[in-house]
Chains A and B, each alone.
Chain A
Amino acid sequence: MDIPYTVEERPDTGLFNAKLGVWLFLASEVMLFGGLFSAYVFLRYGAPVGAFHEWGQELNIPLATLNTLILISSSVTMVMSWASLKLNDFKKYKLYMGLTLLCALGFLIIKYIEYTAKFDHHIYPSTNTFYAIYFTLTGLHGLHIIGGMIVLYYFWIPGSKMWESKPEQFTNRIEIAGLYWHFVDLVWIFLFPVLYLL
């Protein structure tokens, strides 16, 4: 027999399994980034007064602002790709998912530019504790973007065949992937001001 509530919702909780699963995963991710944010707080307290602010002046605010807007856009295109499926518009889904991936790629390219600029100026994780936590936080976030891109690519091309045989389950999967993607955006919404503006 099949596992119940894979697609249909369980009456008393109102959830299908994967939705609960992904939120639990996101809860664990909150604690993961939480550990790193906690490190930021601790290290900032331990540094000389004003040191973190001063060291952060080297960062490129305009580029990061652009990146923030790009990532927010990717969140919109992501939710639109899910909405398109709910409206039975597979073509629109492909368009929006493609745009999401494009935005993600743009984000990574800008990050690459930022990182190489730092390295050119001999600024590395080993330079001081601010850059240590900066590279680690943005690096881990970047890895999450890459991981997300792999999953989204799968749903964009190879896995999109599922729409033909099991459209409801496929739509659910896109919703789940979207939740992950929005979370990655959410982390950046906090990362950006903390690292670049404070």
Chain B
Amino acid sequence: MSSGHHTADIQSHIKVYMTVFAALAALTIITVAASYMDLSTGEAIFLALTIASVKGSLVASYFMHLISERALITWILMLTAGFFFVLMFIPMASFIDQAQVG
């Protein structure tokens, strides 16, 4: 039984879900519109990933209830995120580092 989810709680949650839905839809339109702007590649990547991160955080925090979830889960996810970033950046970094040699 999930903790403390009474009827009134759930009703207020539903309001939140709808708000988040609207925000996600809006951010989707924004990110598509932004892609037509004249930005450098680096700027475009930064903007797209930032918007995606906001959208992702909304899904995780509210639909997946992470915002009220136990600390243990958040710790596991932070650990995972850490290694995820290692996997993203280190191979790329070694590619760049290598290119400089020869």
Contact = CB atoms under 8 A, between A and B. Distances in A.
Contacts of B56: 186, 189-190
Nearest to B89: A41
Interface of A: 7-9, 13-16, 19-20, 23-24, 27, 30-31, 34-35, 37-38, 41-42, 45-46, 50, 53, 61, 65, 68-69, 72-73, 75-76, 78-80, 83, 86-87, 168, 171-172, 175, 178-179, 182-183, 185-186, 189-190, 192-194, 196-198
Contacts of A168: 1
A35 B84 CA distance: 8
**Secondary structure at chain B's binding surface: helix, strand, loop or mixed?**
helix
Interface residues of B, number: 50
A31 B92 CA distance: 16
A189 B59 contact: yes
Interface of B: 1-3, 5, 7, 10-11, 13-14, 17-18, 20-21, 24-25, 28-29, 31-32, 34-35, 41, 44-45, 48-49, 51-52, 55-56, 59-60, 63-64, 70, 72-73, 76-77, 79-81, 83-84, 87-88, 91-92, 95-96
Contacts of B35: 61, 193, 196-198
Of B2, B29, B95, the most chain A CB neighbours within 10 A belong to: B2
Contacts of B2: 9, 86, 171-172, 175
